[in-house]
Structure 1
Amino acid sequence: MSILEVNFDGLIGPTHNYSGLSFGNLASERNAQLRSNPKAAALQGLAKMRQLLSLGYQQGFIPPQQRPQLDSMRQLGFTGSDQQIIQQLAKQNPRLLSMVYSASPMWAANAATVTPSTDSGDGRVHFTPANLLTTPHRAIEAEATQHTLATIFNDPQHFKIHAPLPANNLFADEGAANHSRLCQHYGDPGVAMFVYGRDGLDSANQPARFPARQTRLASEAVARSHGLTAQQAVFCRQHPTAIDAGAFHNDVVAVANGPVLFFHQLAFVDKDFETIKQQLGNKLNLQLLPVNHQEVPLEDAIKSYLFNSQLLAAPDGDMTNMRLIAPSECAQNKSVSAYLERLLQDHQQPIRSVDFVDVRQSMSNGGGPACLRLRVVLNAQQRAAVNPAFLITEDRITALEDWVKQHYRDQLAPEDLADPAFYTESLETLEALTQLLNLKNFYPFQSH
């Protein structure tokens, strides 16, 4: 088929570290201040890309952002050279230092919300970078994400890159981690399913333990700006119980592709979901794959990231021959492993195989296989218009692996962030990446 889904994975950056900055993300909090392994993290991500490429899927990548990101600190009154600001942060507020060194843009599912040209109304693929304003270490990503998307999808005839939504609590937007597109086939008109944790104006029915990050007002704004009609967008509230259990994004408890919605019993508020089912049932032949709480307890689903697996159609877009790319933790969890065995024995549903991938470094910081990728549905002309520097081939993966092996550290401790040598090392690593990709002045430090 000429219209296919391309996964653009976040390339894990050299400052990958465990700072525990993401309140509500249990893995992030559990592993805070442990030593990380940036080299292993990046190689694990590239190995996943290679695996999908070998299976016949089209694959791209999103480069890491510049870290440390010190512009935000200058706005807060810190002055001096970059190295001097780093030393000030290390002495006065190490948590701010962790923030500006965060490698969280690796989780490309939060990069943006994407609407394909079949749905947008103007024949272009639309992107809205997420403002991510509920977590300070991620809110500093939005401007760079917009620049990156405009570099990858750089043909305005085919692509429209919107600005992030206003940085206002009413319009808190977490990107594709709370958005799914349901359709019969990629080339058919689809329905965008937006999942939110809070309305924005109404403070009722909030989670008791952790914040609800996505607002309905933000989702509605993205739908409007992407040209979606009332018939093309549905809105559903994430269950507060799921958020309080650690499902900080909906993609921790649900994943969809084509006509298939694979979800935990406690993923959605019941009354909202019943309305959604009726709306979607009138538009497409929806295939629901609910997982009962008794089969897989919510805690097991979140700990294993079962629903943060990548749900893929066949490489040619066949929705009857689907594949689940699951974290290896799913094979090690008793209830999840048993469930997956039963799932594959049920030939009434379309998932025909489960492939396990090792992304432990990402998982330890709270992101599974689906967190690492942004899904973009493209026709042949649009795929040809993508900046080729960001499309994956076997040779490109090998070159990126060599770059990682040459420049990344095996171990990174929290105190290393204060080391001026690490600052220099981080920028030199990104400089080498732009040379590899033949990009000029991509990062802010390169234009100074």
Structure 2
Amino acid sequence: MNNKTASYEVNFDGLVGPTHNYAGLSYGNVASVNNADAISNPKQAALQGLAKMKAMHEMGLKQGIFAPHARPDINALRRLGFTGNDTQVINKVAKESVVLLRAVYSASAMWTANAATVSPSLDTKDSKVHFTSANLNNKFHRSLEPHTTTSLLKAMFKNDDYFVHHTHLPEQPFFGDEGAANHTRLCDDHASKGLELFVYGTSSLDSRIVSPSKFPARQSLEASQAIARLHDLNEGQALFLQQNPDVIDQGVFHNDVIAVGNENVLLCHEQAFLNQTNALEVVKHAYVGEKEMHIIQVPTDMVSVDDAVRSYLFNSQLVTLPDASMMLVAPQECKNNARVNKYIDYMLSANNPVKEVKYFDLKQSMQNGGGPACLRLRVALNDNELNAINPDVMMNADKFDTLTNWVNKHYRDKLTDKDLADPQLMNESYTALDELTKLLSLGSVYQFQR
């Protein structure tokens, strides 16, 4: 007799904000840096993301919406000594530092894989869903996000009977935390307890752990261990692995650029983890499920690390469809890369649960350094928990139409540094988000006065 409660993986996709721009602020993220100074199209970026959300909903998956943050962050500028009214502050920053202006206008909160780490109730001792917003302390523009992220999560998951929200980790460098981009949950299915796999790039306290030499390792072992403690995971349901420092130096700034997991499948490049053969044996031994664990290693001679970074093959989503088959949700760049496309065809014909691929045009977000998996935060919920969340943040046909109209009404189709220096963009952005809080029933989550 099966006594399992129905459970689902809900993907909450980041709705791209009205100030989406190519600032090149993310050192270590090759796509972000390479496209610095390009002209962005916020309207197209948001519509591309909404199209993916609608498609996932129409496949029978549970799809949620994660609102953008209020940008520019005027409060951050005031803390840095800029005075006057909002317009005067923007004018002063535009004259003094275009880089700082870009940073406070950044729409990087669209990458909701970095928003938080989430542990479902099946894995926690108190049988509640736990959230810890990422502190994102490696980059100034991202370090502005944690407080708003926590407010948004509380507005979305606000029933204390089911949900626990933790304050983000201390912002000291040795607790660098980048959220679910370095966290994967492996399980028989979403209604089963899982193995939570925390992937770190370095240790801030143990000098014996090797670190990358070129680009920064953004996730520390100490941060991952702290989150596992905060979430009070059941014994044997947390495992810590180190990312290969060599691939970090090749532009793999998060683990989800080189590996992705879903249920009993872990898809990874053969260079993803340090001492990979041993690491994957540890994963197999620690796996808490009863089904066969499928580890799909992509060999370098079929897909190089450079191909993986350029195509974002591993930043695809692996999702379980209503018929229990698995599908790879990949960016169009994977189809356009001959070697990656050939490998995907090979994988789909092999003996593993992944049987289908669907490609999406996400060029605007891809050029800023993130693909399908960067755009979503995975939250495993049972029926009671799903019914307890704010229903207005869930995608459906009417919500898609409403948000499409909202984007078309408020978003520009071109942004440059000249636009960022125009205080009118600030006013447009704040007005749009005022309206969005009502559409998504988010209350007073933003830190600006209108």
> TM-score with structure 2 length normalisation?
0.96
Alignment of 1:159-308 (within 5 A): 159-203=163-207, 204-270=209-275, 273-274=279-280, 276-281=282-287, 284=290, 285-308=292-315
CA distance in 1, matches of 2:117, 2:440: 25
What's the CA shift for 1:274?
4.2
CA distance in 1, matches of 2:43, 2:237: 42
Query: In the alignment, is residue 83 of structure 1 matched against residue 87 of structure 2?
Result: yes
What's the CA shift for 1:286?
1.6
Alpha-carbon contact 1:236-1:276 (below 8 Å) kept? no
What's the CA shift for 1:85?
1.4
What's the CA shift for 1:445?
2.0
Q: Secondary structure at the match of 1:411?
A: coil
What's the CA shift for 1:437?
3.1
Alignment of 1:338-353 (within 5 A): 338-346=342-350, 348-353=351-356
1:123-161 superposed Cα distances (whole Å, 9 cap, x missing partner): 210000000000111010000000000000010111001
The corresponding residue for 2:30 is 26
Distance 1:409 1:56, change over 3 A: same
Q: Secondary structure at the match of 2:295?
A: strand
Partner amino acid, structure 1, of 2:294? Q
What's the CA shift for 1:27?
0.5
Q: Which of 146, 156, 159 is equivalent to 1:155?
A: 159
The corresponding residue for 1:67 is 71
Segment drifting more, 24-33 vs 436-445: 436-445
Alpha-carbon contact 1:235-1:276 (below 8 Å) kept? no
What's the CA shift for 1:435?
3.3
Alpha-carbon contact 2:59-2:321 (below 8 Å) kept? no
CA distance in 2, matches of 1:221, 1:185: 26
CA distance in 2, matches of 1:280, 1:290: 18
Partner amino acid, structure 2, of 1:200? S
Q: Secondary structure at the match of 1:263?
A: strand
What's the CA shift for 1:314?
1.7
CA distance in 2, matches of 1:180, 1:198: 18
Structure 1's consecutive aligned runs of 4 or more residues displaced over 6 angstroms after TM superposition are none
The corresponding residue for 1:406 is 409
Partner amino acid, structure 2, of 1:331? K
The corresponding residue for 2:107 is 103
What's the CA shift for 1:253?
0.3
The corresponding residue for 2:7 is 3
Q: Which of 363, 376, 379 is equivalent to 1:376?
A: 379
Q: Secondary structure at the match of 1:52?
A: helix
Alpha-carbon contact 1:34-1:414 (below 8 Å) kept? no
Alpha-carbon contact 1:111-1:175 (below 8 Å) kept? yes
What's the CA shift for 1:431?
1.6
Alpha-carbon contact 2:392-2:439 (below 8 Å) kept? no
Please tell me the root mean square deviation across aligned C-alpha atoms, in Å: 1.4
Q: Secondary structure at the match of 1:43?
A: helix
Alignment of 1:286-365 (within 5 A): 286-315=293-322, 318=324, 321-346=325-350, 348-365=351-368
Alpha-carbon contact 2:284-2:293 (below 8 Å) kept? no
CA distance in 1, matches of 2:284, 2:158: 39
CA distance in 2, matches of 1:228, 1:438: 31
Q: Secondary structure at the match of 1:410?
A: coil
CA distance in 1, matches of 2:203, 2:192: 30
User: How many residue pairs get matched?
Assistant: 443
Alpha-carbon contact 2:194-2:288 (below 8 Å) kept? no
1:312-352 superposed Cα distances (whole Å, 9 cap, x missing partner): 01236x2xx10000000000001100101111111x11111
Segment drifting more, 78-87 vs 19-28: 78-87
1:361-385 superposed Cα distances (whole Å, 9 cap, x missing partner): 0000000000000000000000000
Segment drifting more, 187-196 vs 69-78: 69-78
Q: Secondary structure at the match of 1:444?
A: coil
CA distance in 2, matches of 1:281, 1:46: 35
The corresponding residue for 2:124 is 120
What's the CA shift for 1:400?
0.1
Unaligned runs of 5+ in 2: none
